[in-house]
Amino acid sequence: MPRSPRRIRPAAVATVAAVLLVLPATTATASTAANSPWPGGSAVMNVDDSDVLGGNMSGLSFQGADVLWAVKNGPGTLYRLVRNGTTWRPDTANGWSSGKALRYRNGKGDPDAEAVVATPDGVVTATERDGDNSKKSALKVLRYDVSGAAKTLTAKAEWDLTADLPKVSANDGLEAVSWIPDSALTAKGFVDERTKAPYNPATYPGHGTGLYLVGLESNGMIYAYALDQAGGKYTRVASFASGLDSIMELEYEASNGKLWAVCDDNCSGNSTTLSVNPQGKFAVTDTFNRPSAMPNYNNEGFAISPTCERGGKQVVWADDGNEGGHALRAGSLYCGA
């Protein structure tokens, strides 16, 4: 969701070692005393080349340790980023050097892609409106085949959730998407709110091997869906509060079964973690401040590397405002956090 640029003090610059080496947790400020300090190193660093990605970067998702998917919401563009030393750069193979334009399943429109997640089903985005009709809310989830060399990607499947979600303004809709495997949900005793019984994946034939979770900016709520992978059909399985007034990103950390919810500068960059409680419902387990060395940027994207190195995992934020000519910044998260 693009906003007017703001003047912010320059980002803290750190060496790679300082970012990846997990430092002692910092002390929360008085204004956020109820929050826990960021559970990793305090340092952050720019990890994209200057003015390569530009503004409106809104969502991130790791696919392995060396591939990072990113989406821009205006115009709707998907990037395949690859690791190059200390930076993330657009892949130069298969037409990815400038990103690829996104289209709806009918081959038309300009999806206002606010979030992305790499899944076994494909690369999936969430949108809040069509850029060609920007005054109307259109809360959709789109799946893309990213294997070819075409410069424009047309969705292979599309789910319009607008009728099932609260009515919101055109620029206040879906900002986050994540995916959790069925095996993780059943192992935790997750309860299907529709059936009032433990979640049974067989109840939803054709939905793939996991549930999709979307976050609504306007109310900070998270909604879990079984999406028929043929496209179109969906069933809401659960809904729950993120613990934030507004939500910009969701990230499932498979190593510990926690779901991260992230807010932007409207919430001082706070994030929460959620897990399935003994009653089978997702509930907030902690609320964290942003790293102490990172200014209050308009961070709308957040992703956690699956790889632990020197006691920490790399985490990457996407700054919608492209402050200082940089859209991506990295920090670290304790492997056991």
Residue-wise pLDDT tens digits, 246-290? 999 999 999 999 999 999 999 999 999 999 999 999 999 999 999
Please state, in angstroms and rounded to a whole number, the distance separating the CA atoms of residues 246 and 175.
9
| pLDDT at 23 > cutoff 80 | no
Lowest mean pLDDT among 9-18, 68-77, 111-120, 198-207: 9-18
Closest CA to 289 of 273, 308, 313, 306: 273
Residue 209 phi, psi (nearest 5): -120, 20
User: Do 19 and 41 contact (CB within 8 A), yes or no?
Assistant: yes
What DSSP string describes 288-319? EPPPTTS----EEEEEEEEEEETTEEEEEEEE
pLDDT band at 336 (very low <50, low <70, confident <90, very high): confident
Neighbour tally for 17: CB within 10 Å: 9
Please state, in angstroms and rounded to a whole number, the distance separating the CA atoms of residues 258 and 336.
12
Q: Report the predicted TM-score, pTM, of the whole model to 2 decimal places.
A: 0.91
Question: Can you read off the two tokens belonging to residue 116?
Answer: 């992305």
Rg (C-alpha) for the chain, rounded Å, is 19
Please state, in angstroms and rounded to a whole number, the distance separating the CA atoms of residues 83 and 48.
10
| pLDDT at 7 > cutoff 90 | no
Can you tell me whether residue 202 is helix, strand or coil?
A: helix
Please state, in angstroms and rounded to a whole number, the distance separating the CA atoms of residues 213 and 229.
15
Q: What is the pLDDT of residues 128-143, one digit of tens each?
A: 999 999 999 999 999 9
Residue 337, pLDDT score? 66
| pLDDT at 12 > cutoff 70 | no
| pLDDT at 184 > cutoff 50 | yes
| pLDDT at 162 > cutoff 50 | yes
What DSSP string describes 110-172? -EEEEEEEEETTEEEEEEEEETTEEEEEEEEEEEE--SS--SEEE-SEEEE-GGGS----TTS
Residue 185 phi, psi (nearest 5): -70, -45
Can you tell me whether residue 251 is helix, strand or coil?
A: strand
Sequence-distant (≥ 6) Cβ neighbours of residue 196 within 8 angstroms: none
Chain Cα centroid distance, residue 269: 14
| pLDDT at 18 > cutoff 80 | no
Sequence-distant (≥ 6) Cβ neighbours of residue 178 within 8 angstroms: 117, 212, 213, 250, 251, 252, 259
Residue range 195-208: average pLDDT? Answer: 98
Can you tell me whether residue 236 is helix, strand or coil?
A: strand
Chain Cα centroid distance, residue 281: 21
Q: What is the pLDDT of residues 78-118, one digit of tens each?
A: 999 999 999 999 999 999 999 999 999 999 999 999 999 99
User: Do 270 and 283 contact (CB within 8 A), yes or no?
Assistant: no
